[in-house]
Amino acid sequence: MSEALLQLADVHTHIAQYHILQGVDLTVPKGGITVLLGRNGAGKTTTLRTIMGLWHASRGSVRFEGGDITHSPTPDIASAGIAYVPESMGIFSDLTVRENLFLAARSVKSADQMDEARLEWIFGFFGALKKFWNQPAGTLSGGQKQMVAIARAIVEPRKLILIDEPTKGLAPAIIQGMIAAFRELKQTETILLVEQNFSFVAALGDSVAVMDGGRIVHSGSMAELAADKDLQHRLLGLSLDTHQ
Amino acid sequence: MTAISHAAPQDAALPKVKVDVLPLLLVPLLALLMLPLVGSFPTWVTLTVAGLAMGMMVFMMASGLTLIFGLMDVLNFGHGAFVSVGAFTATLALLPMKSWVEADSVLMNLSVLGLAILLAMLVTGILGWAFERIIIRPVYGLHLKQILITMGGMIVAEQLIHVIWGAEQIPLQLPTTFRGAFIFGDAALEKYRLIAVGVGLTVFVTMFLVLNRTKVGLLIRAGVENGEMVEALGYRIRRLFVGVFMAGSALAGLGGVMWGLYKETLTAAIGGEITVLVFIVIIIGGLGSVGGCFIGAMLVALVANYAGFLAPKVALVSDILLMVMVLLWRPQGLYPVAKR
């Protein structure tokens, strides 16, 4: 296994009176896609938000490239090289696609200064964005909005991309497109991907962690989990047969 | 490299951008509807220009407040304090430089007004920074406490004005060349009202350009919609908010100078008195919307002027009636801001 990029050790997170994360231990290796699986309410989104500093851990530590970011403010975590694509996509609907990407490109002062080669690379995945470049993002379809959200995360090189349920609510044709895009992306980026769509991540993931009740209950390689239907059934309550 | 063109075809039609023009039409429609009711064209012109001038001044005071609410969900009932402080700070330039005010020279008059505005905006901007740090910061996310403490802040500011400038009314003289009116046929257009329209339009265009053409402006608009995501992109929304709070306070100070000169008399309560009107404007416009705030200010001021002429008793409640009618039509205001 390659070196650890992100490490969560015994992370607990409380939201109001609720104890959501109850001792999460998770390691994300550098490169490829690490998938975080689990049933609804298992704590996957809370884990991403805790990494991002949107909710702070009440106990335990979050280390990124060896440095402690447990109590760092969200902008500092983003500046350290972590991008976040929330489940809600978080696009700015009043702004155009171009303006959405421009805001994510922190190093440039004007939209014209965005790296054209990198934009072309993004258009290679998400061709529709070029066409809708000057459209308000709020007018796009759900799939196109998801493209904007992911494009925003990769408009400049980042060390780690956190993506929360990118296929939620998308049509099967668009999901197939997403699979193709993620296959390309994982060649150059490190991604921590939260998903419930097992068939989507089974084809993409390199390593996997499964959450239940606010803890990691399994971690290993995705190939192993994809091949072991009993394990899938035990951990996720499903099998590939029923989910594909 | 795999393009996912089948997911979103390149030849797909561009989605239609819906431009909501109805609220934009309200101001000219209202003005045109009032023409036969007023009866006399010159009177209508005078009333309309007076309404637009008042609307511009109210917009100056309200625009900052709507952004402050939109960006950080802060209900600042103390916003009127900056109007009062701005107006009183202007006296520090206008009273000692009386000879410039009374000079029959446009240049000298403009200079002294410019200096008064600059001083007022500087002082209210700095005061805004202190107000946010001392009063607002401890009550983020607590609306009831925000209302109570910001109202308290306004009372303290009014009393401090009494301490510094005394409890008496201060007469404020309009610069000589700004007095009087231009006469077009039978219509009299007061010079100062035209100046107020010019200043208000300048503020609106500047805000429009900043919000649409600069990165800071885009961040403000993005922050109004989804502040958390702006932070996740690596920007400190608190720092942005302090900047917006200072700018909003400075704009209120500018509005205070213009309003004080318009009324030609200053009292410490000048800001408190206008606060209700300012809140009506930002509610009508849609909380957080600068464009809505601009239209709301024009509507409120025009309705007040027409009602004052046509039915003075109705004028007492015209703003409230207008707000009720707008909210029955659009409960979120004319241009509701999409929040996450």
pLDDT in tens, B155-206: 999 999 999 999 899 999 999 999 999 998 888 899 999 999 999 999 999 9
| Closest residue on chain A to B224 (Cα) | A92
Name which of B218, B246, B222, B247 is nearest B232 in CA terms: B222
Q: Looking at the complex, does the CB of residue A152 fall below 8 Å from at least one CB of chain B? A: yes
* Cβ-contact A152, A180 below 8 angstroms: no
Give a yes or no: residue B287 inside a domain: no
Q: What is d(CA A92, CA A137) in angstroms, rounded to the nearest whole number?
A: 7
Confidence of residue B340 (pLDDT cuts 50, 70, 90): low
Q: What is the mean pLDDT of residues B318-323?
A: 94
* B6·A78 Cβ contact <8 A: no
User: What would the two tokens of residue B184 be?
Assistant: 């077009």
pLDDT digits over B3-17, tens only? 444 344 444 566 666
* A140·B10 Cβ contact <8 A: no
Q: What is d(CA B173, CA B195) in angstroms, rounded to the nearest whole number?
A: 15
* Cβ-contact A143, A173 below 8 angstroms: no
In angstroms, what CA-CA distances link B123 with A97, B130, B246?
Answer: 39, 11, 10
- From the list A75, A125, A174, the residue facing B3 with the nearest CB is A125
Sign of CA pseudo-dihedral B234, B238, B241, B246: negative
Give a yes or no: residue B22 inside a domain: no
pLDDT digits over A143-198, tens only? 899 999 999 999 999 999 999 999 887 888 788 878 888 888 888 889 999 988 88
Number of structural domains chain B divides into: 1
User: What would the two tokens of residue B280 be?
Assistant: 């009506």
Give a yes or no: residue B85 inside a domain: yes
Q: Looking at the complex, does the CB of residue A134 fall below 8 Å from at least one CB of chain B? A: no
State the DSSP code for A40: T
Name which of B157, B148, B149, B99 is nearest B123 in CA terms: B157
Q: Quick check: helix, strand or coil at residue B304?
A: helix
Cα pseudo-dihedral B71, B159, B262, B292, rounded to 10: 20
- What's the pLDDT at B185? 85
B234: closest CA of chain A, how far (Å): 4
Give a yes or no: residue B38 inside a domain: no
Q: What is the mean pLDDT of residues A209-223?
A: 93
Q: How would DSSP label each residue in B3-58?
A: --TTTS-TTSPPPP-----HHHHHHHHHHHHHHHHH--HHHHHHHHHHHHHHHHHH
Tell which wins on pLDDT, A99 or A240: A99
- From the list A93, A103, A127, the residue facing B10 with the nearest CB is A127
If one counts every other C-beta atom within 10 angstroms of the C-beta of residue A207, the result is 21
Q: What is d(CA B332, CA B340) in angstroms, rounded to the nearest whole number?
A: 15
Best of A52, A72, A92, A120 to disrupt the B interface by mutation (most B CBs within 10 Å)? Answer: A92
Locate the domains of chain A by residue range: 90-157
Sequence-distant (6+) residues with CB within 8 A of B210 are B216, B217
- What's the pLDDT at A120? 93
pLDDT digits over B267-298, tens only? 999 999 999 999 999 999 998 899 999 999 99
* B10·A139 Cβ contact <8 A: no
For residue B86, what are the domain limits?
Answer: 51-270
* A132·B15 Cβ contact <8 A: yes
Q: What is the mean pLDDT of residues A230-238?
A: 79
* A103·B10 Cβ contact <8 A: no
| Closest residue on chain B to A87 (Cα) | B229
How distant is the alpha carbon of residue A113 from its chain centre?
Answer: 27
- What's the pLDDT at A1? 52
- From the list A79, A181, A184, the residue facing B234 with the nearest CB is A79
Q: What is the mean pLDDT of residues A33-56?
A: 94
Sign of CA pseudo-dihedral B39, B41, B47, B48: positive
Q: Looking at the complex, does the CB of residue A80 fall below 8 Å from at least one CB of chain B? A: no
Which helix (H) or strand (E) segment holds residue A166: the answer is none
| Closest residue on chain B to A80 (Cα) | B234
Residues of B in contact with A119 (CB under 8 A): none
Which helix (H) or strand (E) segment holds residue B291: the answer is helix B290-310
Helical H runs in chain A? 44-51, 74-79, 97-104, 116-125, 127-131, 142-154, 172-185, 198-202, 222-227, 229-236, 240-243
Instruction: For chain A, positions 199-228, list CB contacts with chain B under 8 A.
Output: none
Confidence of residue B89 (pLDDT cuts 50, 70, 90): very high
- What's the pLDDT at A196? 84
| Average pLDDT of every residue of chain B | 91
